[in-house]
Chains A and B, each alone.
Chain A
Amino acid sequence: MIRYLMQRLLFACLVLVSLSVFVFFLFFVAPGDPARVVAGDKATEAQLVQIRENLGLDRPIVVQYGSFVSKALHGDLGYSYRNQQPVLDLITRRIPATVSLVIGGVIVWLAIGIPIGVMSARNAGTRKDRLGQTFILIGLSFPTFVLGMLSLYCLYFLPRKAGFMLFPAGGYKPFLDNPLDWAWHLVLPWTTLALVTSAIYARLTRGQLLQVLGEDYIRTARAKGISERKVIYKHAMRATLTPLITQLGADIAFLLGGSIVIEQVYGLQGVGALAVQAVANQDRPIIIGVVMLGGLFIVIANIIVDLLYTLLDPRMR
């Protein structure tokens, strides 16, 4: 077990190193001059040379990469070209908003998606199933930003016009300041994120459950004379957990790396919004930092999912 974990950690490090090499060299071959970004349009050629020297951009790429890695290992991801702030600080300041969005979103989408999937699978082929499938189809085909705009219009703009504030248009309030205010501000982003994603979970739950319900051990469970509720929620759901967790791990990790559209629509100052600004500004240190953070989350999530497998499935122990 420990050996397995060590192997996985080693592999995770390899993935992160490859990722850093890839991003670093990608920017090296990409067009654009960072010095110009830092100095602005009016800078003279001499100033540009000076800035390149300051940033170390005149050194060979391999040397630049080496110094990036050695600094990164000491917790220094460099400084923003724009405002000279440490990248690590910029990112950590953005993490609470993103994490809040993801945690709430996950809870809401599981609460919507799984019951719809279960309902669909239990009543396969009937009207209830078609209802569930319709929800899945709409959810899967609805673009996030359209849904975001739509809920903003219906739940913020229309009530405002009528003279009261149902939900705020966005913005992030720290949880520790006022938990209620925090949740109130996040209701719209959560539902938008959840409605789209829950369709994926409803479809996954439906498919897996249908398959499991055809298994011999479900017939055994029914033959034992235990209640149908127990057959579904204990025996069948237990076996559908594994694929659900795989999907959940990947989704959470992906969203923690920044959910760009939702943060953009609701003006949440999260990691995704930071990434968008950084790309627009050609702020390379920030982009590299955000990409590395996303990679780190995915690698960690994969390890956690694998460990959960061994906990969930006695055959893997």
Chain B
Amino acid sequence: MPLIEAHNVTIRIPTEDGIIYAANSISFSVEAGEVFGIAGESGSGKSVLMQAITGLLPGAEISGEVLFEGRDLLKMSQQELQALRGSHIGMVFQDPLSSLHPYFTIGSQITEMIHAHSKVSAAEARAMTVDMLGKVGIENAESRFDDYPHQFSGGMRQRVMIAMALVLHPPLIIADEPTTALDVTVQMQIMELLDEMRKSFGTTIIMITHDLGLLANIADHAMVMYAGTRLEIGATRGMFSAPTHPYTLGLLKSSPSSETAQGTNLVPIEGNPPSLLDRPQGCIFAERCPDVQALCRSTYPPVQIYDDGAEALCHFVPGDKDMVLPARAASPDHASRPIVVDVQDVRLTFTAKSGFGKKRSIEVLKGIDLQIRKGETFGLVGESGCGKSTLARVIAGLIPATSGEVTLDSVPIHSVTGERWRQMRRHVQLVFQDPVGSLNPRRRVGAIIGDPFRIHNVAHGEEQKRQVQELMEMVGLNPEHYNRFPSEFSGGQRQRIGIARALAIKPSLIIFDEPVSALDVSIQAQILNLMHELQRDLNLTYLFISHDLSVVRHVCDKIAVMDAGQIVELNESDRLFADPQHPFTCKLLSAIKDPPPLAGNSDRRIINTRPASPNAVMMEAV
């Protein structure tokens, strides 16, 4: 018997701009004890759906039926839902730092919940909390009870969140991107913990994530959402090796994995997700679908039900010929190319004053050696705090090294000062992680991209505008958008602006600091492809910093693995993945979760089709 069963859940959120159609006639059911995955890109409505049905979105208008333990959640009052939350439905959120109250101790935050749901004494609540903290792997739980969230590391905070969600042994846990904000190795530990807890308490888990590899590895069933619509649902085993919907297939093809070849282009899903403010007449994915037909735009697709239980909202059946990826190409040989960047025994020590006037020094970089050759992509991977971004700043000349030498095109960068330093800055450009935060919202795109021309006195006036528009075209932006503000662009387009700015004065080296980690997979693939094409056409040299090993494997020729301020392993990309030497590299590699290879499934047959029209359902709901 299913623990939770949703039928035709439709969510509309009234806003100043109009009604947001956040979920359209979503149905799913989750068996007790299983892991059910909800996958989708940002804005697909996956979090909104779960928050709305648990009563956490008071502004939403919601219709349909959600049976949980036999009762309809949507008919419950706020008080009834409040009584269920925490005791019957536990929740774990994405960012454990911002999800825990910074001013209360972790113990009091957990006991508060116990007291809200059951009549126990303070001592009993404390004992329950300490016991659960111990079970989720917090050492010295008794003494850490009175610590504040900021005194824990990211992974430990997420363990605290999980302890909070589990302490009353709810039958259902909703985990909303529980590992996205964490380092890969910590991600793995948290997933293992969740799985362990599921086994020992028999908890059912609904896992919301954008990470298909993760879902493929842990979920029994999953559904894929796009623009508030359920495009596909079924058993994960079949879904990721032989998807029944072109969107799922597109997501898989645009994710870099061991199957996608380094140096080849990924297959991105073109375009951007649609606005949720209006409903198209036909298929919601039609605008971006590679296999779109006239029928898709005119008629809302039916639900096709396959014999293995998979359901897809599509007019057609994807053929097995689509289930192939571009062939693997041999990576070009860079060994004979000139060296662009040469880093020799670079050390960096930060000195901090402590309370008693004594100086405390922290060695951030402990003797780094590396060479980057012309035209290659050099990857730098490591967990947060390992010093990879700091190293990038040293190479860019933004932080002086304590000792050691960085040469750029055979010129040592740290000995130069004043005007020479400014000259040198031309040759290294940076592209940052957050495409929203790293562009000044009050300046026009043309001015942002044109800055390097102005600063380095290269071009002015009409000439500058012409060159900027050329750059915009090169990175796939419409040059007519010269006078727009960054807020008028999507995340992927903003990252293109950042790349155009970096390209402006033809630098010797472009440093990409986590350039795609804030983007959705389909957009990420577009940006990675753009980077690859630009490198091929302009013979650019990249230093690529990332925590995402799949991405690094896809784009880099050479990879350096950093841990605690040191490069523990440096090798050709293929060799590093095939034959890791250092234990830390092995640990990182073992944490990669790839979806199973695309295989197709020619045995599968459609057994039934059911008409599905969101409009009909809405009429019914009104």
Contact = CB atoms under 8 A, between A and B. Distances in A.
Interface of A: 1, 3, 215-217, 219-228, 230, 235, 238-239, 312-315
A219 B99 contact: yes
B86 A225 contact: yes
B93 to A, nearest CB: 6
Given A217-B101, A221-B101, A225-B116, 13 more contacts: A220-B93, A220-B99, A222-B56, A223-B86, A224-B112, A224-B164, A225-B82, A225-B87, A230-B112, A235-B104, A313-B103, A314-B102, A315-B102
A228 B81 CA distance: 12
A217 B56 contact: no
23 contacts: A3-B356, A216-B93, A216-B99, A217-B100, A217-B101, A219-B56, A220-B101, A223-B91, A223-B93, A224-B85, A224-B86, A224-B109, A224-B113, A225-B84, A226-B82, A226-B116, A235-B101, A235-B104, A238-B101, A239-B101, A239-B102, A313-B102, A313-B103
Interface in B87-139: 87, 91, 93-95, 98-104, 109, 112-113, 116-117
A216 to B, nearest CB: 4
Nearest to A215: B98
Contacts of B98: 215-217
Contacts of A219: 51, 56, 93, 99
Nearest to A315: B150
A216 B95 contact: yes
- Most chain B Cβ neighbours within 10 Å, of A220, A226, A235: A220
Contacts of A235: 101, 104
B418 interface: no
A151 B38 CA distance: 62
A312 B104 CA distance: 10
Nearest to B161: A220
Contact of A223 (B85, B117, B148): B85
A223 B109 CA distance: 12
B203 interface: no
Nearest to A313: B103
Contacts of B411: none
A222 B81 CA distance: 10
B102 A3 contact: no
Contacts of B94: 216
A228 B116 CA distance: 11
Contacts of B606: none
Contact of B112 (A226, A228, A314): A226
Nearest 8 A-B pairs (CB), nearest first?
A: A225-B86, A225-B85, A216-B98, A224-B113, A223-B91, A314-B148, A217-B101, A216-B99
A227 B93 contact: no
A217 B78 CA distance: 19
B54 interface: yes
Nearest to B90: A223
A239 B56 CA distance: 20
B332 interface: no
B99 A239 contact: no
Contacts of B84: 225
A312 B117 CA distance: 28
Contact of B103 (A3, A222, A238): A238
A3 B355 contact: yes
A216 B54 CA distance: 16
B101 A227 contact: no
B83 interface: yes
B116 A314 contact: no
A227 B103 contact: no
A245 to B, nearest CB: 13
Contacts of B82: 225-228
Contacts of A217: 98-102
A223 B54 contact: yes
Contacts of A313: 102-103
Given A220-B93, A314-B148, A226 B102 contact: no
A225 B100 contact: no
A315 B148 CA distance: 8
B338 to A, nearest CB: 49
Contacts of B104: 235, 238
A159 B522 CA distance: 75
A230 B98 CA distance: 19
A220 B100 contact: yes
Nearest to B86: A225
A217 to B, nearest CB: 4
Interface centre among A220, A224, A315 (most CB of B within 10 A): A224
Contacts of A312: 103
Nearest to B16: A125
A226 B103 contact: no
Contacts of A215: 98
B108 to A, nearest CB: 10
Contacts of B101: 217, 220-221, 235, 238-239
Nearest to A314: B148
A185 B208 CA distance: 63
A219 B87 CA distance: 16
A221 B102 CA distance: 12
B552 to A, nearest CB: 29
B270 to A, nearest CB: 33
Contact of A314 (B56, B86, B95, B150): B150
B400 to A, nearest CB: 29
A226 B118 CA distance: 11
Nearest to A223: B91
B99 A225 contact: no
Interface in B330-376: 355-356
Contacts of A227: 82, 116
A227 B87 CA distance: 13
A219 B85 CA distance: 11
B232 to A, nearest CB: 28
A230 B355 CA distance: 38
A64 to B, nearest CB: 40
Nearest to B170: A225
A226 B86 CA distance: 8
B116 to A, nearest CB: 4
B367 to A, nearest CB: 33
Nearest to A231: B82
A1 B101 CA distance: 25
A181 to B, nearest CB: 42
